[in-house]
Homo-oligomer: A and B are copies of this chain.
């Protein structure tokens, strides 16, 4: 299984680390090793020389010198090199156009895609997912929603006979983390700073706190679980700046940023943004750095899945899991 990795931030580096730590476990489970043939960061793309180990890649990245791993190449050279999968763990672009172009070029060449980057799917779903499906190419995106908490593969491989009737989840960490601190009296700015120190919020946190990040995830949820082709423009959302802080504190500890999608007679009712949860609601029981959701299905009943803590290692594990699912299928062909 030859792959190219676009992005060597927190998730990309943890991806490499998991491969490095796995011993023979990944090969035994999916029948294939994962060979990192290309890596890319903001400095460019590099073809990794034969014999370089996962540890070499991590060291080169830490030294801010991935060029030391091999020759610089173009994205076209990557796509024409015969890789089995393209892995996008890069930062989201605002319009998703850069990713769209690369994904389409990959699909045209028969290359499967694994992405943790939400933008292309939230903004260009119809041009990517059905386009790939019609050509027998897989686009997997477990890590785009709810971090490392299994969701799309859970629906497919654990609830196979079921259709999802309702989804409710806390799928964005940063906004809820900030909210919780604000509730206990911290100012918005101070709460964001603490979240950044904890590694929960990114340097540019506005996508998270404005609710945009949650809205992107909601598009992907609606499309993947309920077989739609929405785009971000179809979704209304709200974020922290619009919330009245007096209201926030008066409502006690039951305010969360969450997503709810209900299917009723073929119509979808979608909401993403702030809402008050009832006492005893499963979503209220989630810890402050946890994500989780509840799905109602027609055959598997109501199921709840959550993490105790979510971070880049867990998200990277979701990406590796997608690559393993691809590997099982590539091997069979």
- A residues contacting B by CB (< 8 A) are 18, 21-22, 25-26, 29-30, 148-150, 153-154, 156-163, 285, 292, 294, 297-311, 313-314, 316-318, 320-321, 324-325, 329, 332-333
Contacts and interface: CB of A to CB of B under 8 A. Distances in A.
A154 B142 CA distance: 13
A263 to B, nearest CB: 14
Nearest to A152: B158
Contacts of A311: 301
A295 to B, nearest CB: 10
A157 B158 contact: yes
Given A303-B149, A306-B304, A307-B303, A161 B22 contact: yes
Contacts of A318: 300
B154 A154 contact: yes
Contacts of A301: 148, 307-311, 313-314, 317
A161 B322 CA distance: 10
Q: How many of these chains are in the complex? A: 2
Contact of A325 (B22, B149, B157, B314): B157
A26 B161 CA distance: 6
Contact of A302 (B159, B308, B321): B308
B299 A29 contact: no
Say what secondary structure dominates the interface of chain A: mixed
Nearest to A310: B301
A301 B316 CA distance: 11
20 contacts: A22-B161, A29-B160, A150-B158, A154-B158, A156-B157, A157-B321, A159-B321, A160-B320, A160-B321, A161-B317, A161-B321, A162-B317, A299-B313, A299-B320, A300-B314, A301-B309, A301-B317, A303-B308, A304-B307, A305-B305
A201 B303 CA distance: 22
Contacts of A329: 332
Contacts of A316: 299
Given A160-B324, A303-B306, 16 more contacts: A25-B163, A30-B160, A150-B154, A150-B300, A154-B154, A159-B321, A300-B318, A300-B321, A301-B307, A301-B310, A301-B314, A303-B305, A303-B307, A304-B308, A305-B305, A332-B333
A18 B289 CA distance: 37
Nearest to A311: B301
Given A303-B307, A313-B299, A332-B333, A159 B150 contact: yes
Given A314-B300, A332-B332, A333-B332, A160 B305 contact: no
A26 B160 CA distance: 7
A301 B292 CA distance: 13
Contacts of A18: 161, 299
A145 to B, nearest CB: 13
Nearest to A313: B299
Nearest to A321: B160
Contacts of A25: 161, 163
Contacts of A154: 150, 154, 158
